[in-house]
Structure 1
Amino acid sequence: MIRVFALLACFWPAMLVAQDGTALARKAGVQLQEAAVQLDDAESARDRIKALTATIRAYETGLAAMRDGLRRASLRETQLTRQLAARDGEVAGFLGTLQTIGAAPSPTSFLHPDGPTGTARAGMLLAELTPALNARAAGLRRDLEDVQNLRAIQTQATAQMQQGLTEVQTARTALSQAMAERTDLPRRFTEDPVNTAILLESSETLDAFATGVANIAHDESLISLPDLSARIGDLPLPARGLILRGANEADAAGITRPGILLGTRPGALVTAPTAATVRYQGPLLDLGQVVILEPQPDTLFVFAGLGAVYVETGEVVATDAPIGLMGGLSAATETTGMSQDGDASGTARSETLYIEVRQDNVPQDPASWFRQGKDG
């Protein structure tokens, strides 16, 4: 059973460290509570799949908040530690001065060579210096306490994030099982394996494959899908991630492609941005595991680089339906996923999802189709 409140408790370090983390963690908490209610109320396989999809999304949002909070805590700890190290001499001077002030005075220690007037002036000077010294000592004490608190937060949060990673993997497993057992997805056509094999063998480019992909359908029926035109530019990305390369940007080898490259974490959930027909799923050219969705007759969405695929060719999927998971999951990568290093640059996102949009078999810039928000 997915332990909702266990993960909610592990979001608190993000709340303590950053305002952005607070909003993200609270959002995840709300999502997770709603998903738990959906799971309890699920009466059909479709309801359970929907609830598990919402659960995994909530975990991904919450873990993103955790990573962001841990990264900020680590940066703040490093900053304070460097400041304290640079003030070692000042600390030593403060300690010596405070020790002198705090020592039990003898009656003669307050006598000034200039007599009572000099003694009074020295006392006034000491009275002025003492609050300043106390204030600076209090500031140093607060900095030291902040460092200790931040270290405690990171230690506890790391253990709690490991629990969160375990829970999200439980949800992934449950979703995979639920998808394997479902029988209620509508089917638009049956795939012709012979024509599919011929098309794969004869296609040397994605253009060629996209041109002939309709030929692999057998006994295709008409089906009405929602109009997509009003949502162009506001479609959600199929997975949580960071855009690493835009359309027609050259990669390290100098190769350009008309799609975008989305960096994701291992095991990230991939969902359908809108209701669509699955025109193809399987290996394709050098793109790895591919899912091609057709949201409307003249448009194709190509998603390449998945690790696991839940859908079958010919099925019709709903908006936000799970279509697969990114690869790269292992005990080592899950542990690495707790690291905050590289979050800003995307280097911690070891999996990549290639996204291409084709209209009338002409590549479009996906940036003009999908909503580009902060990943977190």
Structure 2
Amino acid sequence: MTTHTTTTIGHVTDEDLARALGRGGPGTALADTAPWSFAELRDAARGAERRNGRLVVASGGTSGIPKLTVIRGDMGIPALLRHWSPLRDGDVLLNLFSPGRLWGAHHFYNALGLRSGADVVPMGVLEGTDAAGWAETFADLGVSALAGAPNVLAAFADAMRAAGARLPVRSVVWSGEPMTPGRLRRLRQAFPDAGFWANYGSIETFVVGVNWPECDAGTLHLLPGQILEPDDGGALLTRIDDRWPAPALRYRLGDVLLGASCACHRPDAFRVGSRTNDTVKLFGTRVSCTDVVRQVESLHTVDEAQIVLCGSGAAGTPDRIRVRYTGQAEPSVVRRHLLEGHYGLRFVTEHTPEALAVEHVAGLARNSRTHKVMTVTREPADDVRATGAWDPTAAHPTTETETHGE
């Protein structure tokens, strides 16, 4: 019996791989099979054996027609809990994920909590004075676990600290966007005894990989019965085990995934590099938006950041990049830190300094459906909002990350 591992993340036998590909014999290779399109994944999911109903979910929809598909009614939770158990019997889970419109995250974490034996408080997004008004109630309930997108969790942590609430939180479960150093710092200040549990996947596939409290921050591990093929055009996912929420045969995810190692020493580790549509051209220089945001967020006095692409240069490229951030840092400090760590932008600003603007703001643009902070937004050069939180999704295209977790 041989095991398929070449240039992939994950371990499955050749026999299982041949069965998944619909053919047998030695020498079975993933590379000989064309990647599934979204339509093929959707049709396979709809054609899979029905088990107690199915859940309809949608990806996209911010600037176009939503793409609908179905996943198993149990969302793969029974299989997931064999490997990853962030909640335990008797926990009280406060679910801060937005119910959204056909976004499955809120329903998923309700089900995960119930299946784990926890009491579930299906609250949705809470921030600021709204969250503070619930602080006494949450204390009376004995909330011991939180689930949410990291920016929502961090804002909730700030509200609990401001209200003087001391919740006995032992588990923080997050997905949907990066857990930046600033967000993690705010959460640890409010909940010093909490362990952090992450998961990653796409809306069409649900959970693909997970992270435990002892893992390196940002490192995930592929769950069994799956194979990932790293690719610059987006990692390709194949599922051998039919207990996962949806089938996949070389289905292209929207992220560049990179093989990694982890302090926990578990196998099949990977990290999310960037979105596949992450790069823009600024005065002839290619700039990775993810690299820019990560460099800014590496400054300890910055909480979170995003990029606004401004104007329209040659062939529709931006003629300015505006970096917006929250935190305590001065804009001049952030600009210097960014240029010290990003050669491409430094090169551009040497001849066109106005190509980069850096702004401290009260809040960042978020997707109105999921409440995730968008890494990149667009707005015309003559219509730049200088401060405050605003939602441009109705008027401007975005590169919203559609991952279920990261």
Question: TM-score category by the smaller chain?
Answer: under 0.3
TM-score (norm 2): 0.22
Q: Which protein shows a greater Rg?
A: 1
